[in-house]
Each structure stands twice: as structure tokens, then as C-alpha cells.
């Protein structure tokens, strides 16, 4: 009736009305006192949410790919070695980005749904000196979560910088950047951070900044060079006007709003909620008789679930029927199995009612696509698990 659909893809997500109101506020000058205040607050809040009190936040106009690019463009120099831990599509993207900077990339891949073991990672680190280790916290193509704390500890042990692609994890999965010693944690606005697409966000450790300061060669990416952005971020942190490239004023006001909401709720509570909803959703999917991509429970993400179509169910039929109930999920992304699975995002402002609507639509679409199962089993399982976790 309202003419809107429930957006359950892994980004962009459904946003809080207050965040959307900030998007439609009157656009001010980027040096207006009110905007300087908002930008400064947003940067301070990032340090709290990233749990990186000594970190240096950066916010620039761009998507998550720019955040990936900015992180390594500033840290690597031609001829350096980088180790990419890949659990899907976005691991391959990191390899492509690093190769643009004439870096020698070693990529560690696991079969679909698995993660490279810590032993494999340690062996790689023992055999060669790496400047940087990158990992995708949650690969959005598979819903697989890597154990970033342990990998960051290994990188540190072998004197490499660690970069966490947290595009699909920041504010939805546990990350203690400073305590775990991760050198860069990067993300994009449109996911669990809860702001429309358009912002590349990252927090760099003191060691990362020092590494950049010690470079022998210029950063070969003009837009992403911290030399251009560091003074700007520092100025806003000190509530002073500054300019390098015009900041996306409304997006940054929306960022301040969303980070304030997250911070008021408390990052630990927020993550716990993601965990509860994801856990109940996965049980519901299993009760219907469907399989998810991650092989082990502990490798499954809080922020999205990637589900194989059951035998005999065609992608086109499933998605057509799902959209009849005004629920939008994402198709597969991993090229080799693209048509064999779908993905449901559940992060940010998502509620249990959104999940119930989604499960109901999934059950409907499965029935219409010819799959036989006990009708309502997904919904009742979800309710049972969620209710018990809330008691
Ligand atoms: N990394 C991960 C894990 C992602 O999920 C995405 C986007 N889906 C990206 C990087 C790239 O982000 P963007 O599409 O905003 O460039």
C-alpha cells in the first residue's frame, strides 16, 4: 500500500528515518560552523565505533572500493609484497587493486564457503616478508567471516601491516581495531554504518600513518593520497575550516546522525543484536531445508546470509515470486556459482519484523517454485530461537 519495497540486500540497506532527514536538510557550506561541528563529531564517533582511540579517521566521497584503494595506495610502494587472504569476490578485487601499484601479490584462497586456515596463513608469512596483509572480514559474495583478530596477530608477529576490508562488517561484527592491532579498518557508508551510498571510511593506526610518512616514493594515486586528506581530517577534528575536495555535506551530516544512533545504543549491544538476528535466520533457513554457503557455523557472518537454491528451484522463478511480496534480496555474486544462490542482507536498522517478512516471502517463493517443505517452519523456528535469545 505504501508503495515501497523492503530492501534486504547486503547494501544499500534500509536506513533510519532520522538519517534520511539529515540527507534532505538544507545543504550548507563545507566551512559553515554547523557543518564543521558535524564533521568533527562524525570523525570522533568513528574512533569510538572502531574502538580505535588513537586511530586517524578518514572520510572521503567515494564508495567502499575507494576505501580499499586509499588504504593500500598509501601503504605500499612498487616492488613490495602483499598477502591477500581471499574468501570470495572482494579478495580478488584487493589483488587487482594492489597489482595496479606494482606490488607482488600472493593470494591465499579457500574453496567456496571456507576460510584459509591460520596455519596456511602463518606458513605464507614465514616464507616471505610481506609489507601488507589484507583480509575481507565478511566477503559479501559468500557470507563468510574471517577471524580477523587472529589474522591481525599473525601479521603483527611477522612484521606486516594488516588491512581489514570491513565494508560488510563494521558496526555489524565485532572489531576491536586497537586492541587487535589492525592497522587499517575500512568500510563504506551504505552497509551496517547505515548511511546512503557515497562515503569511503577508514581508520588508520599510528603505525600505518608512520609507514606512510616513511615512504620513499610519492603515493601514485592523487585523490587517495593522505597528504591531501590528513590535514583536512585534522582540521575538522579540531573544529577548524579546511578544504581539499568539496565534502559531500549531506552525507556527512547523515553519517554523524547514524554514528550517534549507533553509539547511543552502544557498539557491543548493536553487534549482539546483529548476531541474534543472524543466528535465528540461519536456523530458520536450515529448518526449511536450505543450505548456506559457509561450511562451518563459526565462519558465518552476522551481516548477511548466502543461501543455495534447493534442487529444482530456478533463480528466475524464486526472485519473481519474492518480489510479489515486495521483498528484495540479492542474487549470487561469485561468478562460478552466480545462479545457484541468493543473498539476504540483515544489518544496520534491520528489525526482527523485517526478518519475519523476508522469511515469509522466501517460504512463499519456494512453494511457488515447486519446493516441498513444512509450510511455516522457517517462521516458527525464527520466532522460537529469537524469543529464547531475548529471554
Ligand atoms: N568489500 C566488500 C566486502 C563489499 O561488500 C563491497 C561492496 N559490496 C566492497 C568491498 C566494495 O564497496 P563499494 O561497492 O561501495 O565500492
Written as one string, the DSSP assignment of 57-95 is EEEEES-HHHHHHHHHHHH--TT-EEEEEESSHHHHHHH
What pLDDT sits at residue 272? 97
Check whether residue 78 and residue 47 sit in a common domain: yes
Is 11 within a domain?
no
Q: Half-sphere exposure of residue 87, counting CA atoms within 13 Å on the CB side?
A: 30
Q: How many whole angstroms from 127 Cα to the centroid of ligand 1?
A: 30
Of 15-24, 80-89, 181-190, 381-390, the range with the lowest mean pLDDT is 381-390
Q: Residue count of the chain, please give it.
A: 391
Angle at which helix 267-288 crosses helix 352-368, to 10 degrees, equals 20
**Among 170, 188, 199, 251, which is best to mutate for testing ligand 1, by the most ligand atoms less than 8 A from CB?**
188
Check whether residue 131 and residue 174 sit in a common domain: yes
Range of the domain at 240: 17-265
Could you tell me if the CB of 89 is within 6 A of ligand 1?
no
Could you tell me if the CB of 136 is within 6 A of ligand 1?
yes
The three grid cell numbers given for residue 11, joined into one nine-digit string: 547494501
Is 279 within a domain?
yes
Taking residue 85's Cβ as centre, other Cβ atoms within 10 Å add up to 27
Check whether residue 38 and residue 178 sit in a common domain: yes
What pLDDT sits at residue 391? 73
**What number does the ligand 1 atom closest to the CA of 136 have?**
3
Is 5 within a domain?
no
What pLDDT sits at residue 390? 76
Could you tell me if the CB of 81 is within 6 A of ligand 1?
no
Check whether residue 259 and residue 276 sit in a common domain: no
Is pLDDT of 126 > 70? yes
Q: How many whole angstroms from 318 Cα to the centroid of ligand 1?
A: 25
Q: Whose CA is closest to atom 5 on ligand 1?
A: 140
Could you tell me if the CB of 165 is within 6 A of ligand 1?
yes
Q: Whose CA is closest to atom 2 on ligand 1?
A: 167
Of 244-258, 273-287, 377-391, the range with the lowest mean pLDDT is 377-391
**CATH code, domain carrying 26:** 3.40.640.10
Please report, to the nearest 10 degrees, the dihedral formed by the alpha carbons of residues 352, 357, 359, 361 taken in order: -170
What pLDDT sits at residue 2? 62
Check whether residue 230 and residue 297 sit in a common domain: no
Could you tell me if the CB of 64 is within 6 A of ligand 1?
yes
pLDDT 10s digits, 164-202: 999 999 999 999 999 999 999 999 999 999 999 999 999
Is 158 within a domain?
yes
Instruction: Identify the sign of the CA torsion 314, 315, 316, 317.
Output: positive
pLDDT 10s digits, 312-333: 999 999 999 998 999 999 999 9
Could you tell me if the CB of 173 is within 6 A of ligand 1?
no
What pLDDT sits at residue 314? 94
Is 287 within a domain?
yes
What mean pLDDT do residues 64-76 have? 98
Is 71 within a domain?
yes
Is 3 within a domain?
no
Check whether residue 317 and residue 187 sit in a common domain: no
Is pLDDT of 1 > 60? no
Check whether residue 321 and residue 384 sit in a common domain: yes
Q: How many whole angstroms from 376 Cα to the centroid of ligand 1?
A: 34
Q: Whose CA is closest to atom 12 on ligand 1?
A: 64
Check whether residue 39 and residue 136 sit in a common domain: yes
Q: Which residues of 164-196 are buried (b: 16+ CB within 10 A; e: fewer)?
A: bbbbbbbbbbbbbbbebbbbbbbbbbbbbbbbb
**CATH code, domain carrying 328:** 3.90.1150.10
Could you tell me if the CB of 188 is within 6 A of ligand 1?
yes
Is pLDDT of 360 > 80? yes
Is pLDDT of 3 > 90? no
Among the listed residues 44, 4, 43, 7, the one whose alpha carbon sits nearest the alpha carbon of residue 347? 7
Q: Whose CA is closest to atom 8 on ligand 1?
A: 140
Whether the Cβ atoms of residue 247 and residue 61 lie closer than 8 Å to each other? yes
Domain boundary among 241, 265, 289: 265
| pLDDT > 90 in the chain, percent | 97
Q: How many whole angstroms from 329 Cα to the centroid of ligand 1?
A: 16
Could you tell me if the CB of 345 is within 6 A of ligand 1?
no
pLDDT band at 29 (very low <50, low <70, confident <90, very high): very high
pLDDT band at 353 (very low <50, low <70, confident <90, very high): very high
Is 62 within a domain?
yes
Check whether residue 209 and residue 280 sit in a common domain: no
| pLDDT > 70 in the chain, percent | 99
Domain boundary among 265, 293, 319: 265
Taking residue 374's Cβ as centre, other Cβ atoms within 10 Å add up to 11
pLDDT 10s digits, 256-297: 999 999 999 999 999 999 999 999 999 999 999 999 999 999
Q: How many whole angstroms from 65 Cα to the centroid of ligand 1?
A: 6
Check whether residue 303 and residue 369 sit in a common domain: yes
Burial class (CB in 10 A: 0-12, 13-18, 19+), 72: buried
Check whether residue 247 and residue 275 sit in a common domain: no
Could you tell me if the CB of 69 is within 6 A of ligand 1?
no
Among the listed residues 237, 323, 229, 324, the one whose alpha carbon sits nearest the alpha carbon of residue 37? 237
What pLDDT sits at residue 273? 96
What mean pLDDT do residues 52-73 have? 98
pLDDT band at 4 (very low <50, low <70, confident <90, very high): confident
Could you tell me if the CB of 168 is within 6 A of ligand 1?
yes
Domain boundary among 265, 299, 316: 265
Check whether residue 322 and residue 191 sit in a common domain: no
What is the longest distance spanned by two Cα atoms in the chain?
Answer: 64
Number of domains in the chain: 2
Q: How many whole angstroms from 299 Cα to the centroid of ligand 1?
A: 19
Amino acid at each position: 500500500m505504501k508503495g515501497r519495497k523492503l530492501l534486504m540486500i547486503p547494501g544499500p540497506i534500509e536506513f533510519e528515518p532520522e538519517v534520511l532527514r539529515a540527507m534532505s536538510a538544507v545543504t550548507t557550506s563545507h566551512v559553515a560552523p554547523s557543518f564543521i561541528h558535524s564533521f568533527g563529531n562524525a570523525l570522533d564517533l568513528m574512533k569510538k565505533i572502531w574502538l580505535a582511540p588513537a586511530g586517524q579517521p578518514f572520510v572521503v566521497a567515494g564508495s567502499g572500493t575507494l576505501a580499499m584503494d586509499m588504504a593500500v595506495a598509501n601503504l605500499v610502494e612498487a616492488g613490495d609484497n602483499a598477502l591477500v587472504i581471499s574468501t570470495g569476490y572482494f579478495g580478488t578485487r584487493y589483488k587487482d587493486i594492489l597489482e595496479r601499484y606494482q606490488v607482488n601479490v600472493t593470494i591465499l584462497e579457500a574453496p567456496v564457503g571456507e576460510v584459509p586456515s591460520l596455519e596456511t596463513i602463518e606458513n605464507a608469512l614465514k616464507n616471505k616478508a610481506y609489507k601488507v596483509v589484507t583480509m575481507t572480514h565478511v566477503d559479501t559474495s559468500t557470507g563468510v567471516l574471517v577471524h580477523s583478530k587472529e589474522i591481525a596477530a599473525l601479521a603483527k608477529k611477522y612484521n606486516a601491516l594488516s588491512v581489514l576490508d570491513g565494508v560488510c562488517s563494521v558496526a555489524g561484527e565485532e572489531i576491536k581495531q586497537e586492541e587487535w592491532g589492525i592497522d587499517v579498518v575500512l568500510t563504506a557508508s551504505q552497509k551496517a554504518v547505515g548511511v546512503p551510498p557515497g562515503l569511503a571510511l577508514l581508520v588508520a593506526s599510528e603505525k600505518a600513518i608512520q609507514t606512510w610518512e616513511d615512504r620513499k616514493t610519492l603515493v601514485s594515486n592523487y585523490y587517495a593520497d593522505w597528504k591531501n586528506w590528513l590535514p583536512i581530517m585534522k582540521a575538522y577534528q579540531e573544529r577548524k575550516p579546511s578544504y581539499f575536495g568539496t565534502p559531500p555535506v549531506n552525507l556527512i551530516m547523515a553519517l554523524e546522525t547514524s554514528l550517534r544512533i549507533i553509539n547511543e545504543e552502544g557498539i557491543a549491544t548493536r553487534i549482539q543484536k546483529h548476531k541474534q538476528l543472524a543466528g535465528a535466520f540461519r536456523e530458520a533457513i536450515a529448518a526449511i531445508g536450505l543450505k548456506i554457503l559457509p561450511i562451518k557455523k563459526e565462519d558465518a557472518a552476522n551481516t548477511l546470509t548466502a543461501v543455495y537454491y534447493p534442487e529444482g528451484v530456478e533463480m528466475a522463478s524464486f526472485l519473481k515470486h519474492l518480489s510479489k511480496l515486495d521483498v528484495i534480496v540479492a542474487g549470487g555474486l561469485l561468478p562460478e556459482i552466480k545462479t545457484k544462490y541468493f543473498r539476504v542482507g540483515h544489518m544496520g536498522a534491520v528489525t526482527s519484523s523485517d526478518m519475519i517478512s523476508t522469511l515469509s516471502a522466501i517460504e512463499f517463493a519456494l512453494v511457488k517454485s515447486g519446493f516441498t517443505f513444512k509450510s511455516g517452519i522457517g517462521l516458527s523456528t525464527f520466532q522460537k530461537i529469537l524469543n529464547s535469545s531475548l529471554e
